Amino acid sequence: MEQHLGFPLETIAIFAAVVIFAVWLDLRLHRDSEDISIPNAVAWSLFWIFLSIAFFFYLKVRHGDDFADLFLAGYILEKSLSVDNLMVFVAIFASFGIKGALQHRILYFGILGAVVFRMIFIAFGTSLFGLSVWIEFVFAAIVAWTGWKMLAGVGGDDEIEDYSDHWSVRLTQKLVPIFPRLHGHHFIVDHGHVQTMIQQDSSLSVAREGAVYATPMLLCLVCIEVSDVIFAFDSVPAVIAVTREPLLVYSAVIFAILGLRSLYFVLAAAQKYLVHLDKAVAALLFFVAFKLALQAAIHRGWVSAEWGISANVSLMIILGTLAVGVIASLLLPEKEDADKAAS
């Protein structure tokens, strides 16, 4: 695309206002420490999807079809890539014994951290593209490698990793004394509360004393934040491969990850049915890597610009690939699941 969106103040103001209001509404309606039901999670997932589609139509009216299609393609790509990350969250919560409403609280703070880290990654990533055309080939290789890792992991029988012994957890334990038991919804407990609980329960003990102690809630949050940062190294280059417009990339990513908190509870229940979705996402990453390498070849003059893939075609391929993954999961379940269904 020859034209650039830039940073129009009206679009930034609308994006910020919508996100701030939606986050405030979410927090207000979920301020009580209650478990999140599947119907509630589905409703909120649809709410965030509706906001994203509404922003897509705003871009379409205000800035044209191409920019709107690029936003939607980036949003769908980030959303689909997030599915794999959410499955890691399932394992992390299981490792720390975190359930129900406490998961919702941890995901809230985890996603706030993701918003900040994504801003840094996107600013850095989009800036790199201006340095050299060869950076596009580097990003294409990163995206292709991510697809290969995902494809290689599909269908594996490895046991779920115990994240309670993750390196980020061990580092936190060196920095802050640990209280080895959940204490309500608190991430940190002060010395007085710890001493009182130890006096009431002789089975409790701490390895070393301190002014404050980290609970398993904080350890779980740290592990999720680190996992998300590592995930950003894979997902951000993929979205930048769709469009290099920083505002489109950031808005697409933010709309996608803000809906993850509700989507997590839906996917945690539905993961056994989406058995082929990982394969579709891996195939999607190979397409994105090819598109990025093709763009680089066009910029180098090796390939005619007529061979470029338009925003509309990219969007159709992304939607089509994900649809194939979902349909295949419904029609061709894994053998183990099929045997269980038959018995």
Full pLDDT tens readout for the chain, 343 residues = 456 777 889 999 999 998 888 878 877 776 655 566 667 777 888 888 899 999 999 999 999 888 888 898 888 878 777 766 666 777 788 788 887 678 777 877 887 787 788 788 777 776 766 566 667 677 677 777 767 776 766 544 444 456 777 788 888 888 888 887 877 778 888 888 888 888 777 777 777 888 888 888 898 988 888 877 777 776 777 777 777 788 888 888 888 887 776 776 666 656 666 667 677 777 777 877 787 677 777 766 777 767 766 666 766 777 787 778 778 877 877 655 445 444 4
Distances (CA, A) of 212 to 140, 165, 206, 225: 46, 21, 12, 21
Q: How many structural domains comprise the chain?
A: 1
* Ramachandran area for residue 6 (φ above 0: left; ψ -120 to 50: alpha; else beta): left
Q: Does residue 197 form part of some domain?
A: no
- Going by C-alpha positions, the residue among 247, 250, 242 that lies closest to residue 313 is 242
Give me 31's structure tokens.
Answer: 């301020």
Q: Does residue 202 form part of some domain?
A: no
Q: Does residue 185 form part of some domain?
A: no
Q: Does residue 88 form part of some domain?
A: yes
Domain that holds residue 96: 9-178+215-342
Q: Is 6 exposed, middle or buried (0-12, 13-18, 19+ CB in 10 A)?
A: exposed
Q: Does residue 46 form part of some domain?
A: yes
Specify the residue for token string 């119907």. 39
Query: Is the pTM of the predicted complex or chain greater than 0.85?
Result: no
- Going by C-alpha positions, the residue among 238, 316, 258 that lies closest to residue 69 is 316
